[in-house]
Amino acid sequence: MIKKINVEQLRIGMFVERFCGSWMDHPFWQKSFLIEDDVAYQAILSSSIVELFIDTAKGLDVLSVRLASEEQTEVVIPESPPLVPEKEFVARAAEPATSMDVELGRAAKVIKKSKQAVVLMFQEARLGNAVNLESMESLVDDITASVMRNSGALIGLVRLKSKDDYSYMHSIAVCALMIALAKQLNLSEREIRDAGLAGLLHDIGKMTLPMDILNKPGKLTAAEFDIVKQHPLSGYKLLLKNKETNKAVLDVCLHHHEKMDGSGYPDKYSGNQISLMARMGAVCDVYDAITSNRPYKVGWCPSESIKKMAEWTKGHFDEVVFGAFVKSIGIYPVGSLVRMGSGRIGVVIEQNTKSLLLPKVKVFFSSKSISYIAPCIVDMASPGEQDKIVSREDADKWGLKNVDQYWAGDALL
């Protein structure tokens, strides 16, 4: 039986038939699904959805009182060895929001400083030495401050890493993406820092891999891939050398390659066996990997990467987490090449916090005359603006060069 209910009547075990309202009002990509855990339940409650339809033939019906036996399930964080009490957390003052133009220069400086620190950290890790968590936490604070001021600046810039810098810059990128995602999920300030630190250290186990495999320009053999698959456990053991490493950081390091359907590694965890932080790490790690230039491939456009990941969501990623991730960076992330209804082609330069479909775009090329035009900014959220994005575009198709200069300018790394 299909029944319309108020969101306050929702409970775990119900089968959502469809939501009332636009898909933009909620973080789910499927319109129909079973609410199996607290992550999905809380995501619906924290969205702007007021009413929805449930199918009582496929899930639970409405109850006026929730019984004690129907307690909500929790995301399970895998056990780790006993740790010393965590240091007292000191909250930071809120960072005022800034424009993309203002933040780009500051973000470039943060990235340069971060790269130097990560290079040194990885050098120590390759020697088998424990990570200096205090210096890494300070680094995470700097990255967090930039992301809070304007997430598009640092996340956009760090994506432009060269293939030679990938191992170092990937850690910085995943750190920033984790921070933005944690903010979107309304995690606490302490959890946001933990997410950032986990992102920064998630791939530290790769420093135990042979360099010829780590930087191989071609496809790995089955034997080489088996060696690569050892890096989560190697990193976990390395992080345990510092007794102050918290559970979230250890867990993301060990389980960011797990998949929701149980086909990941190293433990083949599935569903609720994978913690929220590890689910976040899986999404952020893959996004940066496929948008980056690697020794063996050229990175995909940000918006194309989002499209591809949406196709992989079922089985690979947590649907709620992926939906929140898209909201944190946009359907058309900064740097995406798009074509407008007017025929003009440009790059997304800034997100609109109120609508993922209405970013700012700097147009500079005409698909009609096949020629460059005077660059100008189209703010689709402006009253009276009629031009809209109609498609993603490939720079090679139009023979466009140095596209990133139109949004990053002098801040290009």
Determine what percent of the chain falls in helix, strand and coil, rounding each to the nearest 5: 45, 15, 40
Helices marked H in 46-132: 100-126
Residue of 273, 283, 287, 267 lying closest to 318 (CA atoms) = 283
Please state the domain count of the chain.
Answer: 3
With a CB cutoff of 8 Å and minimum separation 6, the contacts of 406 are 346, 347, 349, 362, 364, 375
Neighbour-count burial of 94, counting CB atoms closer than 10 A to its CB (0-12 exposed, 13-18 middle, 19+ buried): exposed
Classify the phi-psi angles of 315: left when phi > 0, otherwise alpha if psi is within -120 to 50, otherwise beta. left
pTM: 0.78
Are residues 26 and 51 located together in one domain of the fold?
A: yes
Looking at the structure, do residues 127 and 16 belong to the same domain, yes or no?
no
Q: What is the DSSP track for 118-165?
A: HHHHHHHHHTTPPP-HHHHHHHHHHHHHHHHH-HHHHHHHHTT--GGG
Does residue 31 fall inside a structural domain?
yes
Cβ within 8 Å of residue 88, ≥6 positions away: none
**CA dihedral sign, ordered 21, 26, 28, 32:** negative
* Cα–Cα distance measured from residue 122 to residue 205, given in angstroms and rounded to the nearest whole number: 9
pLDDT for res 22? 57
Q: Are residues 263 and 191 in the same domain?
A: yes
124 and 259 co-located in one domain? yes
Amino acid at 406: Y
Q: For the chain, what's the residue count?
A: 413
| Per-residue confidence (pLDDT) for residue 314, from 0 to 100 | 83
Q: Which residue range is the domain that position 370 belongs to?
A: 337-411
Coil vs helix vs strand at 49: coil
| Residue after which a domain boundary falls, among 277, 299, 329 | 329
pLDDT at 357: 86
Q: What pLDDT sits at residue 271? A: 94
Residue 49 and residue 158 share a domain: no
Closest C-alpha among 236, 237, 239, 238 to residue 254? 236
Task: Say what the pLDDT of residue 74 is.
Answer: 37
Digitized pLDDT (tens) for each residue of the chain, 413 residues in all: 889 898 888 988 899 988 886 555 566 656 678 888 777 787 888 777 888 899 998 999 887 433 333 333 333 334 444 444 445 555 555 678 899 999 999 999 999 999 999 999 999 999 999 999 988 999 999 999 999 999 999 999 999 987 778 888 999 999 999 999 999 999 999 999 999 999 999 999 999 999 999 888 888 999 999 999 999 999 999 999 999 999 999 999 999 999 999 999 999 999 999 999 999 999 999 999 999 988 778 889 999 999 999 998 889 999 999 999 999 999 999 999 999 999 999 999 999 878 888 999 999 999 999 999 999 999 999 999 999 999 999 999 999 999 999 999 988 75
Q: Is residue 93 part of a domain?
A: no
Are 272 and 76 within 8 A, CB to CB?
A: yes
Same domain, 135 and 264: yes
For residue 367, CA distances in Å to 187, 378, 412 come to: 43, 16, 26
The pLDDT value given to residue 93 = 55
Of 281, 310, 329, which residue constitutes the final position of a domain? 329
Is 151 in the same domain as 173? yes
Residues 42-75 as b/e (b if ≥16 CB within 10 A, e otherwise) read ebbeebebeebbbbeeebbeeeeeeeeeeeeeeb
Peptide bond into 266 cis (omega under 30): yes
